[in-house]
Structure formats: C-alpha cells, structure tokens
Amino acid sequence: MIQGYEAMTQGRLLPGWYYFEENARNVYLFDNVYLFDGKDLIYPNKFPRRRVVLRVPVGWQGNGRMRGDTP
C-alpha cells in the first residue's frame, strides 16, 4: 500500500492497482473503483477481491497530475 501512495505523491499510477474515489455519498459503496491497466483507468467488471484498493479524494483523476506516465 505504501508503494501505491508513494507513487501517487510523485504523480504516477501503478499498473494493475485499483483506485477508489471517495466522497461523502459513497463512503461505504464501492461504485467508483477503477483499475489502472498501464494506460487508462477502467471500470472493472467485478469487485477486486483480496487486492489493495487505494482511497483517493474526489476529482483526483481529473486534476492533471494523476496519469500513468512520469511527470
């Protein structure tokens, strides 16, 4: 988990990792879970069982910093 958050502080996403956009409306619902496939964030067809899901604030994917490439 630390590796994932450390990469995010550097503006990177890790391929194969799941990211959960959290807000007040969906704190206990996991409808905003995305998988980074190395190029794009995709909505997985099933919930990631036994996988780390990093919690991120609302709007994190649209702020221009979080991309799969290095800054």
Ramachandran region of residue 51, left (φ > 0), alpha (ψ -120 to 50) or beta?
A: beta
- Domain residue spans in the chain? 2-62
- pLDDT above 70 covers a percentage of the chain that reads 73
CB 4 within 8 A of CB 17: yes
User: Taking the model in full, what pTM does it have?
Assistant: 0.70
The residues with which 19 forms a beta bridge, in sequence order, are 34, 54
pLDDT tens for each residue of 17-54: 998 887 756 656 667 788 888 888 888 887 788 888 88
